Amino acid sequence: MKLIVLDRDGVINHDSDAFIKSPAEWRPITGSLNAIARLNQAGFHVIVATNQSGIGRGFFDMTTLNAIHDKMHKALAQAGGRIDAVYFCPHAAADNCHCRKPKPGMLEDIAHRLNTPMAAVPVVGDGLRDLQAAAAVGAQPVLVLTGNGKKTQRDGGLPPGTRVFADLAAAVDALAE
């Protein structure tokens, strides 16, 4: 199975230090939706794995998160793309759960549910947490320089073998070959 895992905020859509708390605040990064459509055309199953601690902190609820994801799915459909599943961690950092990246719980759950090893699966993110979770399950960490990516690269400490691209479209150009 050709599989790729994407973080949401900073990879697919613009991020906000104040959280994406409503569908109106969800805005795709230029080229990201077409990049996902190209992944689909190349035979990839596209999964999103995203920390959404805004739920645990009370900034928004599940109904709002579902509405945000509904907007994302509809925008993708208009671009000819789809996301096969969205996994999210609703917990705040203080909850110390196993699913919140950088811990590997979400990625382990994806591997279990899809009955596929994560070895060498590209996991695309803009933060060190995304890359650390990927490395913890033997996946291929991929950093995009959108969202917090430039700061993440500047701060260093990237897992060995991390591939770096300007944005999701550039990553797809290389990964979908």
Catalytically annotated residues: 7, 9
DSSP 148-175: THHHHHHH--PPTT-EEESSHHHHHHHH
CA pair distance 105, 98, nearest whole angstrom: 5
CA pair distance 141, 132, nearest whole angstrom: 8
**CA quadruple 54, 56, 57, 62: dihedral, nearest 10:** 50
